[in-house]
Amino acid sequence: MNLRLTHALSSRPAIGMMPGAEYGPAKQWPLECFHQLAARLIKEGFEVRVLGGAKDHAAGQAIVKGCRMRIIYAEKLSWPMPWIC
pLDDT in tens, 16-34: 888 887 777 777 889 999 9
Q: How many CB atoms lie within 10 A of CB 59?
A: 20
pTM to 2 decimal places: 0.71
- Yes or no: say if 15 and 48 are a contact pair by the CB < 8 Å rule: yes
Distances from the Cα of 5 to the Cα of 23, 40, 73, angstroms: 36, 25, 16
pLDDT > 90 fraction of the chain, expressed in percent and rounded: 6
Q: Looking at per-residue confidence, does 79 or 32 come out higher?
A: 32
User: Judging by DSSP bridges, how do beta strands 70-71 and 14-17 pair with one another?
Assistant: unpaired
In three-state secondary structure terms, 71 is: strand
| Of 14 and 71, more confident | 14
pLDDT of residue 73: 47
